[in-house]
């Protein structure tokens, strides 16, 4: 650092990796970015950062960046570099031609939760106002869509209920299906500090995650459930709270529908939901479960933190509802230190959902069927909006295989590597007549693309991200886009090539349109963000500088709603051929498909995906630590090295999907959440056997 000297200038911006949303000072000498320093005034990180964020700038200048547009007539041909104008005309002609031949619903978009709010807003507008349908979906489909549905149904909106600061008032943390140390490192540090101060921890996870037994932190209870049984465990916790009379009657009478509660109480009191009845199914000791329920209900401020280990299941939405039930039962909602807190994986999962990128919702979580809502946007955009919900990502791929979906604009997503059942994704992409990939790098999906539009990195654009605590943070341009355009400009150029007639000159104008059409953003302006740093939505006349805590005086939907959470076994079954259960996740130094982190200085620490396996399971198969193994499922197979560890429960194996060489999603299934189609990444029946390598 000393060698770098005093930087000539700095720009404060927001990390583009995880949902913590850390603020950084990007320091430059001339045009060269020399380091990223965590910004002490950042309200989400207060001067801290993790290793991923510090090194993030590396990928922006990586030689793999594609800086010029490319096209090709078919995916068998080599790419041809062309001008922006030619690429956009080519893309627009193809998309228009497809719609003429196959109808206006034969094309759609997939956007990324890495994109800014403004970019996401424009992409869904492109779909609705230019393509003329609602075939817009986001990668939140494959991570937190059950959060949207589950919290929407119970509380009335899809959002984390507390701010990060609230963790300092937490007495009992329930961490379920999340590994904050790896996934949300800066928030994990704040949680650990509170735990060291004496707060208690309950971990519900098939793995012994670091939090379970880290330095100076030991979980009071670990419930190592069998993958796929979240609903049974959560309902058993509710059973204990209700049958032992540990619920907060005053809160429920005041804030929830009492008749609904009584029906729910009768449901969970049934003996089939008792911990003793579910122990065999879930693998969780009944005494441990009872003790955990008592601690959560009586230990003071109880806060639930959850991640994709909750949502990425066939009953992901049901588990989210079950967690909301627990918070309402115990009155742990609407004040500091409590709540239901989804830990969002990507930087802007919250924002991409807020901005209407789901095929059934306009910005602000309003259903497209609502004529009065459509009218707001029809007036603003000067078009008619289709009242029928569009296709979700898996439906787009199914329709492509069936021949009715022919054109896709895929912005900032590598669905071939990230989405489940890789063979099916490839078949869908291969069946399309026009795949437009808009990205920084030639990713795996680009193998099936006809148009490649170079993307801009987070350092090269203006906009906003909304983090896991609903905090809208500014993203500021640190350097000019190496590809020539910010991503929102590329979407505008594509829209205009198809007759959109858009004329935005800066993302602040897009935010002004968002504010004018979306009540929870009504008070958000770039001027306000400059003045106060960041705000948490709702931000409007009633809450002019935002809302740190949700549901303080009442739930967004009025009365909180208890919903029945009946356990239904997944269709994915173990058996003699596939006796183990695979669950997937992430590691600290990598981010999702690794397209960015693999191109930064930190990637040297973990240069391959490995398979974690319990010593008994390894020994039974003649596998020793570091051996190559074959990982096979009904969907496919891959090879990777084994890491033998007691972090895993017997019968459960674990890997990550950061490296395209592994293609971990070759083995995952196409089963998904009943309500949202969020894939069931966390439960795949597999076999592991010795292998000679790939």
- Contacts to ligand SF4 by CB under 6 A: 15, 17-18, 20-22, 45, 49-50, 52-53, 184-186
Is 52 or 226 the residue whose CB approaches ligand SF4 more closely? 52
The residue written with tokens 């969907």 in the block is 635
Q: 629-666: b or e for each residue (b if 16 or more CB lie within 10 Å)?
A: bbbbbebbebbbbbbbbebbbebbbbbbbbbbebbbbb
342 DSSP β-pair partners: 306
The residue written with tokens 């547009």 in the block is 69
Written as six digits, the tokens of 399 are 């329709």
Nearest approach, Cβ of residue 182 and ligand SF4 (Å)? 10
Which are the contacts of 269, defined by CB distance < 8 A and separation ≥ 6? 239, 242, 243
Is 27 or 680 the residue whose CB approaches ligand SF4 more closely? 27
Nearest approach, Cβ of residue 248 and ligand SF4 (Å)? 33
Nearest approach, Cβ of residue 691 and ligand SF4 (Å)? 33
Is 49 or 154 the residue whose CB approaches ligand SF4 more closely? 49
Nearest approach, Cβ of residue 588 and ligand SF4 (Å)? 9
The residue written with tokens 């090709």 in the block is 72
Is 50 or 623 the residue whose CB approaches ligand SF4 more closely? 50
DSSP letter at 604? G
Which are the contacts of 693, defined by CB distance < 8 A and separation ≥ 6? 628, 639
Strands 471-475 vs 80-81: parallel, antiparallel or unpaired: unpaired
- Angle at CA 345, nearest 5°, toward 133 and 62? 90
Is 16 or 293 the residue whose CB approaches ligand SF4 more closely? 16
Nearest approach, Cβ of residue 292 and ligand SF4 (Å)? 28
Is 186 or 593 the residue whose CB approaches ligand SF4 more closely? 186
- Angle at CA 470, nearest 5°, toward 321 and 487? 115
The residue written with tokens 């630590």 in the block is 625
Is 54 or 273 the residue whose CB approaches ligand SF4 more closely? 54
Contact by Cβ (8 Å): 81, 454: no
Nearest approach, Cβ of residue 593 and ligand SF4 (Å)? 15
H/E element holding 375? helix 371-381
Nearest approach, Cβ of residue 590 and ligand SF4 (Å)? 11
Taking the CB of residue 528, how many other CB atoms lie within 10 A of it?
Answer: 19
Is 13 or 584 the residue whose CB approaches ligand SF4 more closely? 13
Nearest approach, Cβ of residue 69 and ligand SF4 (Å)? 30
Burial (CB count <10 Å: 0-12, 13-18, 19+), residue 229:
buried
Nearest approach, Cβ of residue 348 and ligand SF4 (Å)? 11
> CA–CA distance from 323 to each of 34, 237, 404, 541, 693 (Å)?
44, 10, 39, 31, 42
Is 186 or 449 the residue whose CB approaches ligand SF4 more closely? 186
Nearest approach, Cβ of residue 167 and ligand SF4 (Å)? 14
80 DSSP β-pair partners: 71
Q: Which residue in 239, 233, 175 sits closest to 207, CA to CA?
A: 175
Is 22 or 225 the residue whose CB approaches ligand SF4 more closely? 22
Nearest approach, Cβ of residue 45 and ligand SF4 (Å)? 6
Nearest approach, Cβ of residue 353 and ligand SF4 (Å)? 18
> CA–CA distance from 143 to each of 52, 116, 565, 681 (Å)?
20, 18, 20, 9
Is 166 or 596 the residue whose CB approaches ligand SF4 more closely? 596
Is 15 or 400 the residue whose CB approaches ligand SF4 more closely? 15
Cβ-closest residue to ligand SF4?
53
Is 36 or 289 the residue whose CB approaches ligand SF4 more closely? 36
Is 50 or 362 the residue whose CB approaches ligand SF4 more closely? 50
Taking the CB of residue 87, how many other CB atoms lie within 10 A of it?
Answer: 25
Nearest approach, Cβ of residue 592 and ligand SF4 (Å)? 11
629 DSSP β-pair partners: 640, 690
Q: Where are the alpha helices (DSSP H) in 140-245?
A: 145-154, 180-183, 185-196, 230-243
Nearest approach, Cβ of residue 24 and ligand SF4 (Å)? 7
Is 106 or 602 the residue whose CB approaches ligand SF4 more closely? 602
H/E element holding 269? helix 258-269
DSSP letter at 603? G
Nearest approach, Cβ of residue 28 and ligand SF4 (Å)? 19
Contact by Cβ (8 Å): 577, 687: yes
- In total, the chain counts a number of residues equal to 694
H/E element holding 632? strand 628-633
Which are the contacts of 495, defined by CB distance < 8 A and separation ≥ 6? 122, 125, 126, 129, 130, 502
Written as six digits, the tokens of 477 are 């341009």
Is 346 or 491 the residue whose CB approaches ligand SF4 more closely? 346
Phi-psi domain of 336 (left: phi exceeds 0; alpha: psi -120 through 50; beta: other)? beta
Nearest approach, Cβ of residue 344 and ligand SF4 (Å)? 10
Beta strands in 168-297 (DSSP E): 172-176, 200-204, 221-223
């Amino acid at each position: 650092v000393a060698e770098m000297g005093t930087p000539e200038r700095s720009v404060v911006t927001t990390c583009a990796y995880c949902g913590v949303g850390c603020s950084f000072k990007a320091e430059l000498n001339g045009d060269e970015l020399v380091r990223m320093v965590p910004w002490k005034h950042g309200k989400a990180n207060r001067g801290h950062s993790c290793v991923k964020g510090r090194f993030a700038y590396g990928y922006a200048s990586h030689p793999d960046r594609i800086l010029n547009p490319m096209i090709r007539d078919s995916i068998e041909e080599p790419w041809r570099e062309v001008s922006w104008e030619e690429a956009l005309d080519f893309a627009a002609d193809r998309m228009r031609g497809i719609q003429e031949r196959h109808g206006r619903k034969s094309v759609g978009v997939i956007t990324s939760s890495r994109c800014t709010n403004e970019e996401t807003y424009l992409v869904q507008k492109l779909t609705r106002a230019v393509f003329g349908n609602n075939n817009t979906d986001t990668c939140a489909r494959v991570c937190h869509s059950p959060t949207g549905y589950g919290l929407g149904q119970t509380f009335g909106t899809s959002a984390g209920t507390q701010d990060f600061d609230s963790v300092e008032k937490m007495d009992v943390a329930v961490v379920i299906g999340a590994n904050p140390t790896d996934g949300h490192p800066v928030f994990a540090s704040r949680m650990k500090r509170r735990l060291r101060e004496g707060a208690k921890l309950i971990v519900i996870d098939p793995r012994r995650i670091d939090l379970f037994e880290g330095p100076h932190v030991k979980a009071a209870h670990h419930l190592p459930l069998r993958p796929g049984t979240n609903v049974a465990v959560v309902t058993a916790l509710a059973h204990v709270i209700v049958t032992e009379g540990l619920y907060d009657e005053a809160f429920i009478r005041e804030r929830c529908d009492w008749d609904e509660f009584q029906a729910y109480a009768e449901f969970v009191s049934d003996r089939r939901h008792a911990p003793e009845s579910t122990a065999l199914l879930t693998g969780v000791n009944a005494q441990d479960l009872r003790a955990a329920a008592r601690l959560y209900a009586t230990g003071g401020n109880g806060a639930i933190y959850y991640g994709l280990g909750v949502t990425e299941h066939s009953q992901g939405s049901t588990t989210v509802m079950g967690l909301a039930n627990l918070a309402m039962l115990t009155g742990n909602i609407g004040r500091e230190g409590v709540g239901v807190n989804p830990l969002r994986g990507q930087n802007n999962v919250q924002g991409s959902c807020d901005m209407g990128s789901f095929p059934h919702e306009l910005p602000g979580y309003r259903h497209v069927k609502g004529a009065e809502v459509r009218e707001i946007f029809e007036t603003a955009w000067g078009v008619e909006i289709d009242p029928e919900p569009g296709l979700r990502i898996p439906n787009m791929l199914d329709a492509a295989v069936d021949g009715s979906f022919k054109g896709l604009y895929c912005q900032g997503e590598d669905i071939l590597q990230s989405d489940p059942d890789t063979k099916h994704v490839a078949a869908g992409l291969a069946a399309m007549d026009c795949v437009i990939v808009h990205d920084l790098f030639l990713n795996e999906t680009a193998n099936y693309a006809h148009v490649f539009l170079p993307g801009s990195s987070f350092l090269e654009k203006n906009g906003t991200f909304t983090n896991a605590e609903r905090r809208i943070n500014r993203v500021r341009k640190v350097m000019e886009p190496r590809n020539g355009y910010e991503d929102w400009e590329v979407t505008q150029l594509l829209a205009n090539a198809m007759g959109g007639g858009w004329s935005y000159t800066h993302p602040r104008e897009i935010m002004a349109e968002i504010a004018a059409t979306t009540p929870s953003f009504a008070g958000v302006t770039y001027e306000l963000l400059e003045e106060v740093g960041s705000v948490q939505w709702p931000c409007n006349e009633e809450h002019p500088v935002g809302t740190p805590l949700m549901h303080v005086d009442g739930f967004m939907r009025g009365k909180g709603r208890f919903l029945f959470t009946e356990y239904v076994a997944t269709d994915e079954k173990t058996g003699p051929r596939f006796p183990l259960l695979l669950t997937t996740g992430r590691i600290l130094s990598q981010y999702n498909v690794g397209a960015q982190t693999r191109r930064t200085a930190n990637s040297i620490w973990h240069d391959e995906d490995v398979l974690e396996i319990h010593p008994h399971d390894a020994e039974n198969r003649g596998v020793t630590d570091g051996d190559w193994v074959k990982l096979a499922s009904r969907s496919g197979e891959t090879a990777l090295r084994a890491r033998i560890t007691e972090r895993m429960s017997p019968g459960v194996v674990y890997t990550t999907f950061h490296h395209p060489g592994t293609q971990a999603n070759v083995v995952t299934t196409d089963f998904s959440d009943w309500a949202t189609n969020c894939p069931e990444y966390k439960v795949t029946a597999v076999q592991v056997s010795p292998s000679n390598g790939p």
